[in-house]
Structure 1
Amino acid sequence: MILPAVDWAQPWLAPYRAHGQAVAQAASVHGSVAEALQGARPAHAPVPDFVQQHALPAGQAYEAHIFQTRTVPTRDNLHDFFNGLVWLAFPLAKRRLNELQAGEIARHGVAAVRGPLRDALTLFDENGAVLDAPPALWQALVARDWHTLFVERREWWAQARLLVFGHALLEKLAAPRKPITAHVLLAHEAAGAVAFDDARMAQALDPARLERKPFVPLPLLGVPGWWPGNEAASFYDDPQVFRPLPERGIHGR
């Protein structure tokens, strides 16, 4: 199975590059993403086994199956390829997300509508990112003050670290488009979690906080150094992408 081409030089792929290139090559040889990921799995790391998708029984909840069997059913596509790479790079954070998902499924079953915690867990797992940055950048991001964030304070991004965690987000970025937006968990709100630190990120995934959805939208191609076009200040003059903070109505509603 040959995966679509991935530009491994892109900055958002830095945490996944070492495993990613090798796994993609192995998948092209062996014809199986699961087999390629399994071959890259460290022998003594808290990473589950990767198995073919047909190992997931019909009607069985995916997250519950992973929790019960410590195996990850994997399809031969880019989405599951990136999911596997995140497991390899951040196994403790992925395990924590899975434990919380499985716990919610055990308590409430699988319904047509997820509860607030499962919604937040899925959002972060699929589309999340973690930002570790100076407070002035955090404040500008929360305020959706894009000019301050990306133009006035542009040089401050040299002190920031941004981790793209969500595997669906990584899949989207394989074909970069300006509107691609992450749901960012700010490191100062993550109990000291620091981007690229697996153990501290896992500890920060607190269900009481996550179900309040403490995420802030961030159009990723606006990040300095992540896309050539954003070197011009006019790049950010696009209200369809860089949207202002919604105004509160009367009585704050």
Structure 2
Amino acid sequence: MSARSAGKVQEAQEAQEARDATRRCAQRPTGAHDATDHRRADPATTGFADRADGSCGAGDPRGACGPAHPEHARRSAAGGGPDAPRAFAVSMRRRGSSCADGGACFARIDWSAPWLAPLADRGERWTHAAQRGEAAWLRMLNDEARAERLATGRGLPLRFIAQAALPAGIAYETHIAETGAVPTRHNLHDFFNALVWFAYPRIKAALNARQAAAIDAAGVGAVRGGVRDALTLLDENGALFATSDPALAAALRGFDWPTLMRASRDAWGARCDARIVGHALCEKLVDPYKGCTAHAWIVEVPAAYFDWPDARRRAWLDERVAAALAATDPASRGFAPLPVLGVPGWWPANASPAFYDDPQVFRRGRRARAE
């Protein structure tokens, strides 16, 4: 067999492994959880080895498990399908149209959490508007979108509309690309989707442009394909791991948690940092739990990056990643699993080295296990 043929066979095997891992993911129990409970490993990660109990844990760089919720669990229990990331994205759009508690759900957001603190000024303002009702919140979103001249990847002014205004039979991504209007529900999931549009407008525009172009070319279809799978995973459950140190990037890719999280604690904020870009991941982190894990896109940054103010760092990442999304075809296996509460300084319990001695969350990679 030629090297090229062998490479294609390996790629096909990896894609099948990702789909199989997704179908085996178990539903995360509902409600708030103690973040030290390692029994509830997150099924929402790019790298999770399958376990006998059907759930997933950090350790398989080729997995593609989407964030768990009742609809996804139902599909998984029924045997899933060949395109689990697509099923996840569709089912997320089918969730309830509004907060069942009339807006009180927005008060549960802790804007002092390290993963949200850089966006707290806008977030707290939006929280107050959302608690007043859907109409007041949408007005605020659109006023700010106009003021900041947000636009889609096709150059249309961005605006936010009620979910009910989405025409029947039109794909969500297509509607945004063709009209500039983002169907938005009065709930936490879409609250964070809008927040990411403002925080990383170029990345969101690039994601939508790629998704819409794929739909234009091939239709919605029963199978999204590898590129759209990867776009969905970044959009829903992604994080950016920015680093100026190749050794730290290698540690993340290699599941070397002792190096990345313990020996290199002082490097966080000086030679690496992490930023949440997936809006479903933001929603899950309203109730943090230890196994909550992101699909991390590793971004090489200059050393000067860590001297810049936060807004400049965010804008730099936004431009760099958006350009990469436009120029290359992302793949699910290109992400690295990053257990969010393991980021030094992001959770009080991780100040203890014992926090990382948890193989249910901080697992070794498949290659390491095979050695």
Asked if TM exceeds 0.5, the reply is yes
Question: Match of 2:139?
Answer: 35
CA distance in 1, matches of 2:220, 2:348: 44
1:113 Cα deviation from its structure 2 partner: 2.1
Asked if 1:127 is matched to 2:127, the reply is: no
Partner of 2:257: 146
Question: Retained in 2: the 8 A contact 1:100–1:207?
Answer: no
The answer as to 2:283 corresponding to 1:180 is no
Alignment partners' CA distance in 1, 2:241 and 2:223: 29
8 Å contact kept, 2:233–2:332:
no
Report the secondary structure of 2:295's partner residue. Answer: strand
CA shift, 1:195, in A, is 5.5
- In structure 1, runs of 5+ residues without a counterpart are none
What is the percentage of aligned positions where both structures have the same residue? 46
* Distance of aligned partners of 1:80 and 1:162 in 2 relative to their CA distance in 1, 3 Å threshold: same
Q: Which residue of the partner structure matches residue 202 of structure 2?
A: 92
The aligned amino acid for 2:168 is A
- The answer to whether 1:205 aligns with 2:318 is no
Q: 1:212 to 1:179 in 2, by over 3 A?
A: closer
Q: Equivalent of 1:12, from 98, 115, 129?
A: 115
Q: Among 281, 292, 302, which residue is 1:169 paired with?
A: 281
8 Å CA contact retained: 2:276, 2:282:
yes
Taking the aligned partners of 2:325 and 2:364, their CA distance within structure 1 comes to 28
Bigger drift between 68-77 and 111-120 goes to 111-120
Tell me the secondary structure at the aligned position of residue 232 of structure 2.
helix
1:71 lines up with 2:181 in the alignment = yes
Residues 14-34 of structure 1: CA deviation (Å, up to 9, x unaligned): 332121111111111243443
Q: Which 10-residue stretch deviates more, 99-108 or 208-217?
A: 208-217
Q: Say which of 21, 26, 29 aligns to 2:129.
A: 26
Alpha-carbon offset, residue 206 of structure 1? 4.2
How many pairs align?
248
- Alpha-carbon deviation of 1:6? 0.6
Alignment-mate amino acid for residue 239 of structure 1: P
Q: Which amino acid aligns with 2:126?
A: V
Q: Is the 8 A contact 2:210 2:326 kept in 1?
A: no
Shift of 1:3: 4.4
Which residue does the alignment assign to 2:267? 156
Give the aligned partner of residue 105 of structure 1: 215
Whether the 8 Å CA contact 1:178–1:219 is kept in 2: the answer is yes
Change (3 A) 1:102 1:200: same
Distance 1:36 1:2, change over 3 A: farther
Matched, 1:60 2:60: no
3-state SS of paired residue (2:161): strand
**Distance change (3 Å), C-alpha of 1:249 and 1:129:** closer
Native 8 Å contact 1:27 1:36 kept in 2: no
Once the 2 structures are TM-superposed, how far is the Cα of residue 136 of structure 1 from its aligned partner?
Answer: 2.0
RMSD: 2.2
2:335 and 2:178 map into 1 onto residues whose CA distance is 29
1:41 is paired with a residue whose SS is helix
Q: Which has the higher contact order (CA 8 A, sep 6+)?
A: 2
Q: CA offset at residue 247 of structure 1? A: 2.7
- CA distance in 1: counterparts of 2:256 and 2:180, whole angstroms: 43
